[in-house]
Amino acid sequence: MRKVVFSSIIGLFICFIFILPIYANLNIYFLDVGQGDSSLIICPTGRVALIDSGPSSEIILNHLRDLKIDRIDLIIASHAHADHITGMDEIIAQYKPRAFIDPGLSHTTTTYERMIDALVEYNINYYEGTSRQISLGDLIFTVMPPAEPLINISELNNNSTVVRLDYYDFSVLYTGDIEKDRERSLLNRADNLLDVNVLKIPHHGSSSSSSAIFVKATNPEVGIISCGENNTYNHPNDEVLSLYSNLDINIYRTDQHGTILVQTDGSDYTIHPEIDATCLPMVKNKETKQDNSLEYKYAASKKSKVFHYIDCNCVKQISLENLILFKTREEAIASDRRPCKRCNP
C-alpha cells in the first residue's frame, strides 16, 4: 500500500515537473505608471523580472503590492532617466534581486545615485547591459549589443539596454528610450534578433524613434506604448501612430488601456487591457433611472482597482460574483480605486 502511495506521489511529481511548464502561462504586465515605463514579468515557476520602475516609487510599489509580488529575481534598468528608474532604491532594498542590469552609463541625478547606493548597500550582483543571455527558467532574456562606439547624441536614451525576451515561440522586444540612431545600429548589429510578436514601442511613441525600417524589421503583431494620459510631450506622436496603423500593428497604450497584461503559453498569446478602450459610457435612459439599483451610482470589479459609473459599458463585463456597488464617489475612492479613464466618474 505504502509503495502504491509513494509511486503515485512520484508520478504526480513527474507530471508537475514535466507538464506544468508547458501549460502554465507567462504573465507580462505593461504597468500603467503614468508618463514612464515599467514592465513586470511573472514566470510560471514564480520567478519574477522587472524592467524599469517608472516615474514614481509610490505607483510602482502599489502595483507590486497589488500583484502580491514577494520576490524579484532580475531587475533591468533600461537607462538612467527618472521616468524609468524612480523608486529602484526602494525596490532593491525591499526585494534584493539576484541580478541587476543597466547600460553602465552613470547620471548625476540623485535618483540614479540612490539606485547605485542601494546596489552597493545590499550587495546586489551587478551586470552591464552588454551582449549576453539571462535565463529565468524557460524564459530567456537576450541583451542586444550596445552601439559601438556608444552614441553621444541623446546619450542615455540611445544607449538604453535593449532586451529581447523569448518564451518558447513567443517573443517581446523591450527598447527603452532608443532613438533612430540606435535603431540603425541594431539593424546593423542584430537584425536577426529583431523579429518579435510584441514590440514595446521605443521612447513612449516619440517622433524621435520608430523609423519605418526598424519597425518593419521588428515585424510585431502588437505594439505597446507606455505613456501618461494628457502628457505634455506629445507622446505618442500622431505620425508614429499612423506608421504602426499602416503596417496593421495593433496598438495598446497604457494612457488609454491602463495596465496591459500579455498572457502566453509560449505558443499563443492573449492581450488583457485593464480598460476596454472601446467601451464608452452608455447614454442614461429612463429605464436605467427607474432601476432599483439607482441609489448605487458607481460600480467596480473585486479584481480591479478601477471604478466606473454604473452605466459604463465596462460594468457589463463584470461578472455578478465580482461586482461591487458604491452609492457615492467618496465610497469608491475610499475603497482604494481610481476612476475609469473612459466614463470618468
The Cα 343–Cα 107 span in angstroms is 41
AA identity, residue 173: L
Q: CB-hemisphere CA count at 13 Å for 124?
A: 30
Task: Spell out, one character per residue from 129 to 148, where the chain touches other proteins: x when CB under 8 A holds, - when not.
Answer: -x-xxxxx------------
**Smallest gap from residue 102 Cβ to other proteins (A):** 9
Residue 125 sits in the site that holds other proteins (CB under 8 A): yes
**Smallest gap from residue 175 Cβ to other proteins (A):** 21
**Smallest gap from residue 289 Cβ to other proteins (A):** 38
**Smallest gap from residue 238 Cβ to other proteins (A):** 18
Strands, E, within 198-322: which ranges?
A: 198-200, 222-225, 250-253, 260-264, 269-273, 298-301, 306-309
Angle, CA 174 vertex, CA 173 and CA 176 arms, to 5°: 145
Q: Respond yes or no on whether the N-terminal peptide bond of residue 145 is cis (omega within 30° of 0).
A: no
E strand or H helix that includes residue 20: helix 2-23
Whose Cβ is closer to other proteins: residue 119's or residue 340's?
119
Task: Spell out, one character per residue from 5 to 44, where the chain touches other proteins: x when CB under 8 A holds, - when not.
Answer: ----------------------------------------
Of 46, 58, 126, 317, the one binding other proteins by CB under 8 A: 126
The Cα 302–Cα 289 span in angstroms is 25
- Tell me the window of 125-133, 187-195, 223-231, 278-286 that interacts with other proteins (CB under 8 A): 125-133
Give 312's strand partners.
281
Whose Cβ is closer to other proteins: residue 49's or residue 199's?
49
The Cα 161–Cα 342 span in angstroms is 34
Residue 108 sits in the site that holds other proteins (CB under 8 A): yes
Angle between helices 88-95 and 57-66 (to 10 degrees): 40
Residue 267 sits in the site that holds other proteins (CB under 8 A): no
Whose Cβ is closer to other proteins: residue 141's or residue 244's?
141
Residues near other proteins (CB under 8 A), total = 25
Backbone angles phi, psi at 70, to 5 degrees: -115, 0
Residue 107 sits in the site that holds other proteins (CB under 8 A): yes
Q: Give residues in contact with other proteins (CB under 8 A).
A: 47, 73-74, 98-99, 104, 106-108, 112-113, 116-117, 119-120, 125-128, 130, 132-136
